[in-house]
Amino acid sequence: MSGVFADWQPVYAGHGIATFPVVIVGKDKRPAVKGYLKLGSKVSGQLAIKFPEHEAIGLACRRNKITVLDVDTPDERVLADGLAKHGHTPFIVRSGSGHFQAWYRRNGEGRRIRPDPDVPIDILGDGYVVAPPSRGARGDYKIVSGKLDDLDCLPVMRRAAPEPGQTPWSTNDNAPNPDPTKTKSQSREGLRNDTLWRRCMMMARQCSTSEELTAAAMQFNKQEFNPMLPIDEVLKTVESAWRYETQGKNFFGQGPRLMLDFGMVDELAVKDQRAYALGSVLLRHHAGSATFFLANAMADTFGWSVNTFKAARDVLVEFGLIECVHPGGKGPNDPPVYRFTKGVRE
């Protein structure tokens, strides 16, 4: 049975991202090969053959044009503040320890460890990161927002105003220094935009229409900002927040949640509730995992008979949500092994 790296290297390669195997022992994460910061897709493909059993996958940020906002705490408020400061991205990962990664398209960022000493956030535009669905000592790396297709069109990170005495970015790229006056002016407006966006995301839950949200945003702009933001900026912010709300993507300030395919809801929730329940639980616990065990003993979790459990499992196979990669049955320590089908895994 192949490991996470061998299974997912070609998936990432399909999005133009070269990856390499990583060894995780306790808190120590170490690339299994040399030259990992510069290797390309051809070498990456050869490594998938050479390292078939490695359970963690890494990628070089600069080489793959990705910058990661690395939130070194499970506190979702810190993640929310980081997104408000640097801009929102559809692709967010949670590590096995519960920490977060927000991925952006690299735009000249370097590797900055704790740019604000009081906030447990690193900006990783160089070096490497461990990617989902790696298996760590404390659990699996999981995608909690978005899917791999989002890697094809990631937004760039908004450049926050520097702290006193700091340069905007610590980077090896020879980017020109911005005009200080322009940066200061943009900083003030950027902070107001961030504040308004966060408030709109929270207010959107209580609004029935975009018009209600617009009125509330206008009132907030008038009461809180001096000078006020331009009207067109307020309208753009409202449009963005309302789009998140109406698309069911407004998770602002809330915990991780399960994203279900419409087809699964339409086909299974009404026609086969047991299969729907089993599929939901599997997605809840194993989304992002290369494989998972699906033994008959799981029937007890639902209070079902073994035959009922097998019937629900077989419906999920027929539906195309899961597939068997090892039937097991060669002894008490040889359970069946399944995985989500390619479309679900991606």
User: Residues 287, 346: contact at Cβ < 8 Å?
Assistant: no
* CA dihedral of residues 30, 34, 38, 42 (deg, nearest 10): -110
More confident site: 159 or 269: 269
More confident site: 184 or 128: 128
Q: How far apart are CA 17 and CA 282, in angstroms?
A: 28
Q: How far apart are CA 128 and CA 122, in angstroms?
A: 12
Res 171 pLDDT > 70: no
Give the model confidence (pLDDT) of 220-241 as tens digits.
988 888 888 888 889 989 998 8
Half-sphere CA count of 323, side-chain side, radius 13 A: 9
Which CATH topology does 262-345 take? Arc Repressor Mutant, subunit A (1.10.10)
Count other C-beta atoms under 10 Å from residue 315's C-beta.
19
Res 341 pLDDT > 60: yes
Q: What integer pLDDT is reported at residue 256 of this predicted model?
A: 54
More confident site: 188 or 14: 14
Q: What integer pLDDT is reported at residue 292 of this predicted model?
A: 84
Q: What integer pLDDT is reported at residue 233 of this predicted model?
A: 87
Lowest mean pLDDT among 9-13, 167-171, 195-199, 317-321: 167-171
Taking the alpha carbons at both ends of the chain, their separation in whole angstroms is 19
Phi first, then psi, for residue 104 (nearest 5°) are -130, 165
Res 164 pLDDT > 90: no
Quickly state the pLDDT bin for 245 (edges 50, 70, 90).
confident
Q: Per-residue pLDDT averaged across 294-317, rounded?
A: 91
Lowest mean pLDDT among 63-67, 99-103, 108-112, 281-285: 281-285
Res 173 pLDDT > 70: no
Strand order in the sheet with 322-326: 292-293, 337-340, 322-326
User: Residues 59, 106: contact at Cβ < 8 Å?
Assistant: no
Q: What integer pLDDT is reported at residue 254 of this predicted model?
A: 58
Structure tokens belonging to residue 23: 């060894």
From residue 196, how far is each of 59, 192, 230, 242 by CA, in Å? 35, 6, 12, 13
Res 257 pLDDT > 70: no
Q: Per-residue pLDDT averaged across 38-67, rounded?
A: 92
From residue 111, how far is each of 71, 160, 206 by CA, in Å? 14, 15, 40
Res 187 pLDDT > 50: no
Q: What integer pLDDT is reported at residue 343 of this predicted model?
A: 61
Q: How far apart are CA 174 and CA 228, in angstroms?
A: 36
Give the model confidence (pLDDT) of 317-337 as tens digits.
998 889 999 888 887 678 888
Res 311 pLDDT > 90: yes
Alpha carbon 313 to chain centroid, angstroms: 28
Place of tokens 């702290």: 163
Which residue, among 146, 132, 58, 126, has the nearest Cα to 95 in the 3D structure? 132
Query: Which range is most confident: 41-50, 62-71, 192-201?
Result: 62-71
- 3-state SS, 192-207, equals HHHHHHHHHHHHHHHC
More confident site: 175 or 295: 295
Which residue, among 67, 69, 47, has the nearest Cα to 56 in the 3D structure? 47
Q: Per-residue pLDDT averaged across 136-164, rounded?
A: 80
Q: Across the chain, what does the average pLDDT equal? A: 83
Q: What integer pLDDT is reported at residue 232 of this predicted model?
A: 86
- 3-state SS, the chain, equals CCCHHHHHHHHHHCCCCCEEEEEEECCEEEECCCCCCCCCHHHHHHHHHHCCCCCEEEEECCCCCEEEEEECCCCHHHHHHHHHHHCCCCCEEECCCCCEEEEEECCCCCEECCCCCCCCEEEECCCEEEECCCEECCEECEEEECCHHHHHHCCECCCCCCCCCCCCCCCCCCCCCCCHHHHHHHHHHHHHHHHHHHHHHHHHHHCCCHHHHHHHHHHHHHHHCCCCCCHHHHHHHHHHHHHHHHCCCCCCCCCCCCCCCHHHHHHHHCCCHHHHHHHHHHHHHHCCCCCEECCHHHHHHHCCCHHHHHHHHHHHHHHCCEEEEECCCCCCCCCCEEEECHHHHC
Give the model confidence (pLDDT) of 80-117 as tens digits.
888 888 888 889 999 988 999 999 999 889 999 998 88
Q: What integer pLDDT is reported at residue 177 of this predicted model?
A: 38
Q: Per-residue pLDDT averaged across 172-176, rounded?
A: 37
More confident site: 288 or 79: 79
Place of tokens 């809801």: 265
Res 8 pLDDT > 50: yes
Res 20 pLDDT > 90: yes
Res 252 pLDDT > 80: no
Structure tokens belonging to residue 299: 């029937």
